[in-house]
Amino acid sequence: MSEVDPDTEGLILQKEAHRPDPSASFAFGGTPLFPRAPPLRRRDSASVGRASLATRGAGGGGGMGSASEEAQLSALLTAIRATDPATEGRYQIVTRTTCGRQRKAIAFVNAGDGVPSQPTTRSRWPPKHRKGRTILRSENKKRRTSTRRRSKPAMRVGNNGEIDLKTFAKFAKSHSLVILGDVFSFVPFHLLAALPRSLLPDVSKQYTHLTIDASTEAEQLFWHMLSAKPVLCWLWGKRLTRLESIVLKYPNKTPAWCLTSLISLIEGHAAARRAMVVRHARSHLQVSQLREGTLTSISFESVDVALTDEQQRPTPDLLPPKSTHPTSLPALVSISGIRYGHRVLAKAAAGRGWQWPSLRCLAVDSTGGHICSGGALCGFVGGLTTLTRLDASCSLADKAAIVESMGAASQLESIGELHIDGKGADKDLMRLKDALVARKCHSLTSIEAHVGTHVDASIIPKLAALEFLHAAVSKSPDTPIIFHFTSGSSSVFDLALLGASARVTTPFVKTALSDLADHTEDVVWKLGDDGGGDKASSAAAEELAASLTFKKAASLKVVTDETNPTQLPAHIIAHTAFINRHAFPSVTRVHLRGSVACTAMQHIMQAGVRLPALAGVLLFDGVSVDEASSVLAAIGDEARLDSLYVELKSATGAIKWPQAEGLPSVKNLEIWTKLPSDTDAGEFTSTSMASLVAARGVREVKLVLHHIRRSMMQDVHSVMDGLFIGEFRVASSAQWNLRRGDGPLRGGQLMVMCALPVARI
């Protein structure tokens, strides 16, 4: 873009900054800050000095109550005290009531007693006016006479507490430009744009941190107005010659918000820095030692805010004319928070010749599960040779494409998480390895792998490919590999991979599986699934089974897969014999589904495996009383179970619960079964309950009968309600149209018999 004359530039900026537009009403927390207002008349009062800097209070409708407005008065008080050390303690923030409205104000007080002084003819605040112009003076200057009968305050305060921004800025500038820069270098940019033209050069050069925030309505309107004026954005960027960081806080659902304005600002800033370097070199007749760039970071943050319909309406991508010189950002080292919607910036950077030769960190916003495609990132890294960190949450194929678009990767130290849970991840890992090796990458200091939520036999070839990657691109053989499960979900380790353990040919894969087992929350064993391996046991499987320890696992599930075997396979029986005795130190619940699962659990316990934290056992899919008794006997009488849930097969007679020694004690026993056909319902329930309440250690028994007819239910009520069995009293309840799972029970009827100790009823 061609250079603009400074006077013309100032007129454009001043005209646009003061245009009577809704977007030009600037405020802190919705309250206008420093707009013009009529002067406040001086009033004689016994409690308040001759003048004060005031703002609205809570009693007047609107008000002071916010912390941001309190901070405004504190900032003004600090600026006043800094002008002259002699004024320390002479001005304070006071509260006064006018016409029923409370207002905060900065008042002049007596030095002796700290009470606001009464107006006197020798009061030195506020400064006097002469011939309509403000005369600013400090405490150590002599008082000047005025030809006017009534003086006006240096900073005009209106009835609604609004202070004239222009007058205050002139006051600060006349005392100290450092104070002016300190006050305005951190205010929102739309307030900076409201300053008078004469103050912009002194203030804008001290503005180092720019935040474009969509969370406030005032800034939304301001930036929406600027988005249609790319040349004006470019001129504002040219003013910010010492800009160090930019933060764009965009609406969560509109990541492309204000990107065109950001591009224009950056190009204007880069053009101004380039011109400064050229002028400095010409004035010193040598190569300039001035830094060509100051902008070091660009970050994107999402905010939960909604835009208006007008702001959401698609607008053309308006950009200033392309500059004859490429936009150079030599100091830029970090771009973070990138999402797919920010591909507009990458496209503009590639198409308009942007250069960031020092870019070292590129980070993608991965919060909320956002996945950024490789196409959105290739424009940022094209031709780069200095990148040290590529923190991109994307697929392995996209990550390989990003690396392939780089110029060199000899300084790359981190490539972010590698998602190895997808299908074909082993081939994508090899492609990524080849791309890194071709760009001379041998400098990775750590590797992070994301394994999803499920570890099964398919992970073995992926771990082998990860080992090849580690050996080819790591800085040293000791470079760590860190595994991550999906956060917020339970991680599952499937012991069926023991059937495919013949593929475990290296110590690395064995160590990786052991590391994953240490961090697993649930252990499952799908019987009948050999993981694509051999049906016979192998030495590798036996060695792996003995090395696995599930320190964090809280549940152990043994189920049958879709093949639904009727007998336990021989190779699984062999695997159970080598499981580590202390493999499940934290398991509190055991889930067994089917008769084959009960048999497998018996073999596991007979191999000497201990479950010291076991508190509950659940038997599903219709097991017999004998099968349930065998599982409990394998667990042993040392166990103390809080709950036992059993789904029994339909029996031919009443339930006879085993009373033999060697069974664990059970506090809460719940049995689900179907009432046998051609059986007296009352006799069945009474005999079954008498057997169940005799179980060792039982404190509560529930017998659930499903698919029962109304006539049978009436027979049970007549026999069982109020019946005492030892220390237990029996009560019954019925439910109709009960839904269990996704559909209603056949017959839609359910009856629950509950036996409780008499003391608990």
Of 47-61, 112-126, 680-694, the one with minimum mean pLDDT is 47-61
Segment 134-149, tens digit of pLDDT: 444 444 444 444 444 4
What's the whole-number mean pLDDT along residues 355-376?
A: 72
CA distance to 31, 535, 609, per residue, from 550 (Å): 59, 25, 12
Mutual angle of helices 425-438 and 396-404, in 10-degree steps: 10
Angle at 233 between CA 229 and CA 236, to 5 degrees: 140
- Averaged over 414-419, what is the pLDDT? 90
Over its C-alpha atoms, the chain yields an Rg (Å, rounded) of 39
pLDDT of the residue at 348? 84
pLDDT score, position 17: 47
300 SS3 class = strand
Q: Give the residue, 107 or 67, on which the prediction is more confident.
A: 107
Highest mean pLDDT (candidates 16-25, 62-71, 219-228) = 219-228
pLDDT for 190 beyond 50: yes
Give the type of residue at 286.
Q
- The number of C-alpha atoms within 13 Å of 378 and in the hemisphere containing its C-beta is 13
CA–CA separation, 731 and 744 (whole Å): 25
Amino acid at 716: V
Lowest mean pLDDT among 84-93, 429-438, 564-573, 688-697: 84-93
Residue 462 has pLDDT above 50, yes or no: yes
Least confident of 71-75, 438-442, 552-556, 652-656: 71-75
H-run or E-run covering 209: strand 209-213
Nearest C-alpha neighbor of 540 from the set 600, 469, 601, 460 = 460
CA dist list (Å): 290 to 265, 287, 332, 357: 21, 9, 16, 17
Structure tokens at 542: 């036996």
Banded pLDDT at 383 (limits 50, 70, 90): confident
- Top pLDDT among 530 and 618 is at 618
Domain boundaries, the chain: 6-334, 360-486, 496-760
pLDDT of 44 above 50: no
For 293-313, write each residue's pLDDT tens digit.
899 999 999 888 877 766 666
- Contact by Cβ (8 Å): 532, 501: no
User: Does 457 or 92 have the greater pLDDT score?
Assistant: 457
- pLDDT bin (cut points 50, 70, 90) of residue 187 is confident
Q: What is the rounded CA–CA span in Å between residue 164 and residue 167?
A: 6
Q: Residue 696 pLDDT > 50, yes or no?
A: yes
Q: Quick one: tokens of 13? A: 């900026």
pLDDT-derived band at 180, boundaries 50, 70, 90: low
Q: Quick check: 180 and 160 in contact, CB under 8 A?
A: no
Residue 345 Rama label (left phi>0; alpha psi -120 to 50; beta) = alpha
Report, as an integer, the average pLDDT of 681-687. Answer: 87
pLDDT of residue 646 exceeding 90, the answer is: yes
pLDDT in tens, 468-519: 999 999 999 999 999 988 876 789 999 988 888 777 778 899 999 999 999 9
User: Looking at residue 137, what is its pLDDT?
Assistant: 43
Mean pLDDT of 536-565: 84
Element (H, E) at 638: none
Mean pLDDT of the chain: 76
Range in 243-247, 473-477, 530-534, 659-663 the model is least confident about:
530-534
> Coil, strand or helix: which one is 744?
strand
Cα 600 to Cα 617: distance, rounded to the nearest angstrom = 14
* pLDDT tens digits, 258-280: 899 999 999 999 999 999 888 88
Overall average pLDDT of the 121-127 stretch: 44
Q: What is the pLDDT of residue 130?
A: 46
**Percent of the chain's residues with pLDDT above 70:** 70
pTM more than 0.85: no
Q: What is the pLDDT of residue 591?
A: 96
520 vs 483: CA distance, rounded Å? 11
CA quadruple 83, 88, 93, 96: dihedral positive or negative? negative
**pLDDT at 437 > cutoff 60:** yes
| Alpha helical stretches, state H, 636-701 | 681-692
Burial class (CB in 10 A: 0-12, 13-18, 19+), 430: middle
pLDDT-derived band at 759 (thresholds 50, 70, 90) equals: low
